[in-house]
């Protein structure tokens, strides 16, 4: 399955990933500075959610493309559904 996303969808996912990248840099700095464990864990949870949301956005785009290609043979749809389900569950 190729990653084909509209420009606005791609921009949204890239923005989420860039924010997560910044959060990770902040977490590294927090650890290096010896910041409170609770603060570090809170930021780790936030970056984890941001990454999950980016992944779900990519999967949702895949679902849209699958539905748009409704004319595929049943076997192809079943295979694609299984692949998308596996991807979805990998984020759950």
For the stretch 29-75, pLDDT in tens is: 999 999 999 999 999 999 999 998 888 888 887 777 666 665 455 56
Q: Is 15 helix (H, G, I), strand (E, B) or coil?
A: helix
Please tell me the pTM assigned to this model.
0.69
Instruction: Give the C-alpha separation, 55 to 51, whole Å.
Output: 6
Q: CA 9, 13, 16, 18: dihedral to nearest 10 degrees?
A: -120
Per-residue model confidence (pLDDT) at position 43:
96
Placement of tokens 């399955």 in the chain: 1
Q: Cβ neighbours of residue 20 under 8 Å, at least 6 residues apart? A: 47, 50, 51, 54
The residue among 48, 42, 57, 56 whose CA lies nearest residue 19 is: 48
For the stretch 1-38, pLDDT in tens is: 455 566 777 788 899 999 999 999 999 999 999 999 99
């Amino acid at each position: 399955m190729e990653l084909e996303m509209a420009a606005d969808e791609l921009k949204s996912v890239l923005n989420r990933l860039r924010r997560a990248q910044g959060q990770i840099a902040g977490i590294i700095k927090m650890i290096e500075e010896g910041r409170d464990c609770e603060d570090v864990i809170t930021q780790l949870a936030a970056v984890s959610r941001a990454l999950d949301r980016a992944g779900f956005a990519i999967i949702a785009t895949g679902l849209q493309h699958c539905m748009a290609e409704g004319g595929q043979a049943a076997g192809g749809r079943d295979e694609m559904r299984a692949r998308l389900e596996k991807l979805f569950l990998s984020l759950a």
